[in-house]
């Protein structure tokens, strides 16, 4: 049985789209317990990817890394990728906003370094985005992209001192990252060895449909999303362009629609793994990211993570949800994994 890539669950879905203007935040401990309890045919999750976001964590609390390490160790789990709370700043904002963005990356890298020292983190990246809306970006596309690239480079140079890689997650709600072509352009402009792309199967599928960037759509507006040949051709175009940059990967399902909750802008809808309206063949389509153009495994990252942002709390508090998710991820590893 393949033991790589390792299989992780995410904790930020307990936070993203939640809060005062939506459903209550799901406690970190609850997410951890349900992750640890999931099991399919004797296989369990290997770890978690963590959003370093309040109220789960406080980057100004020096005791939080030890607290996290103790919690995951109790369940024999590891920590993988970390989400930096860069939305306190803005990569194309004022000098102060951009400095705040970089400072959030620094604090996240410091947190990750402590987790490594505590023996609970062996792999993973620090996740970022531009923290800027598409509408604001569009007021000056050229100038704003240059500012974002400059901020990313500054953050990357800082992260390199911690041995960290930064992964920009392509979502249609972030300026300069809202289409597959803009995403490639930004990565090329940043031009840092420790900056890459975090692919999410749900968000990147929206790239093919041209949401927020109709000039870059691949599937026509009247496309039949049940036409697997058309979907596969579109996915191949996007993955061929972004796979060389991909250093972190989220397994997910999508029904071809957008969704946002709370204060989060609309982005690719995360569907449950068993959703009958899901457009993706999860195990097959993950292969576009996990294998090169010749069908060979890239082994570009040591773990996969499931992302299910903005699921209703009723769904997230159901243990069967996490068993179904784990089952889908096991199928991905059976199809595209390896023995380490």
C-alpha to C-alpha distance for 238 and 90, rounded to whole angstroms: 27
pLDDT in tens, 189-208: 999 999 999 999 999 999 99
Res. 327: pLDDT tops 70: yes
Task: Calculate mean pLDDT across residues 8-20.
Answer: 92
Structure confidence at residue 309 (pLDDT): 80
**Cβ count within 10 A of residue 207:** 32
**Cβ count within 10 A of residue 172:** 22
Lowest-pLDDT range of 51-65, 213-227, 261-275, 306-320 = 261-275
C-alpha to C-alpha distance for 283 and 71, rounded to whole angstroms: 31
pLDDT in tens, 216-261: 999 998 999 999 999 999 999 999 999 999 999 999 999 988 756 6
State percent of the chain over pLDDT 90: 91
Structure confidence at residue 20 (pLDDT): 87
Structure confidence at residue 70 (pLDDT): 98
Res. 283: pLDDT tops 90: yes
Q: What's the chain's average pLDDT? A: 95
Structure confidence at residue 308 (pLDDT): 84
pLDDT in tens, 293-304: 999 999 999 999
Give the single-character DSSP code of 302. Answer: S
Strand partners, 48: 9, 79
- Binning pLDDT at 50, 70 and 90, where does residue 269 land? confident
DSSP string, 213-257: -GGG--S-TT--TT-HHHHHHHHHHHHHHHGGGEEEEEE-B--S-
- Binning pLDDT at 50, 70 and 90, where does residue 262 land? low
Burial class (CB in 10 A: 0-12, 13-18, 19+), 14: buried
C-alpha to C-alpha distance for 138 and 81, rounded to whole angstroms: 30
Angle between helices 95-117 and 64-74 (to 10 degrees): 50
3-state class (DSSP) for residue 291 = strand
Task: Calculate mean pLDDT across residues 40-54.
Answer: 97
Structure confidence at residue 17 (pLDDT): 83
Structure confidence at residue 64 (pLDDT): 98
Lowest-pLDDT range of 141-155, 250-264, 271-285, 320-334 = 250-264
Helix, strand, coil share (%) of the chain residues, nearest 5: 45, 15, 40
């Amino acid at each position: 049985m393949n033991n790589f890539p390792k299989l992780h669950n995410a904790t930020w879905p307990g936070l993203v789209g939640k809060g005062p203007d939506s459903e209550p935040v799901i406690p970190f401990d609850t997410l951890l317990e349900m992750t640890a309890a999931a099991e399919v045919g004797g296989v369990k999750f290997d770890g978690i990817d963590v959003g370093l976001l309040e109220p789960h964590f406080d980057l100004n609390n020096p005791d939080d890394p030890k607290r996290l390490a103790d919690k995951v160790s109790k369940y024999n789990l590891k920590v993988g990728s970390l989400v930096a709370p860069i939305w306190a700043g803005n990569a194309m904002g004022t000098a102060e906003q951009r400095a705040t963005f970089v400072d959030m990356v620094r604090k996240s890298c410091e947190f990750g370094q402590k987790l490594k020292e505590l023996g609970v983190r062996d792999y993973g990246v620090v996740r970022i985005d531009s923290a800027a809306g598409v509408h604001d970006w569009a007021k000056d596309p050229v100038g704003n992209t240059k500012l974002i690239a400059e901020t990313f480079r500054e953050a990357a140079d800082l992260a390199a001192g911690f041995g960290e890689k930064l992964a920009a997650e392509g979502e249609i709600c972030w300026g300069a990252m809202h289409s597959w072509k803009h995403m490639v352009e930004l990565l090329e402009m940043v031009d840092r060895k420790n900056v890459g792309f975090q692919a999410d199967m749900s968000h990147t599928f929206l790239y093919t449909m041209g949401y927020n960037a109709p000039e870059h759509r691949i599937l026509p507006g009247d496309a039949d999303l049940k036409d697997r040949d058309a979907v596969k051709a579109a996915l191949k175009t996007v993955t061929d362009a972004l796979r060389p940059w991909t250093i972190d990967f989220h397994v997910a399902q999508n029904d071809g629609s957008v969704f946002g909750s709370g204060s989060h802008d609309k982005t690719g809808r995360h569907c449950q793994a068993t959703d009958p309206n899901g457009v993706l063949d999860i195990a097959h389509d993950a292969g576009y990211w996990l294998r090169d153009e010749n069908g060979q495994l890239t082994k570009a990252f040591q773990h996969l993570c499931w992302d299910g942002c903005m699921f209703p709390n009723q769904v997230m508090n159901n243990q069967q949800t996490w068993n179904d998710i784990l089952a889908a991820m096991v199928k991905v590893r059976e199809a595209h994994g390896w023995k380490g």
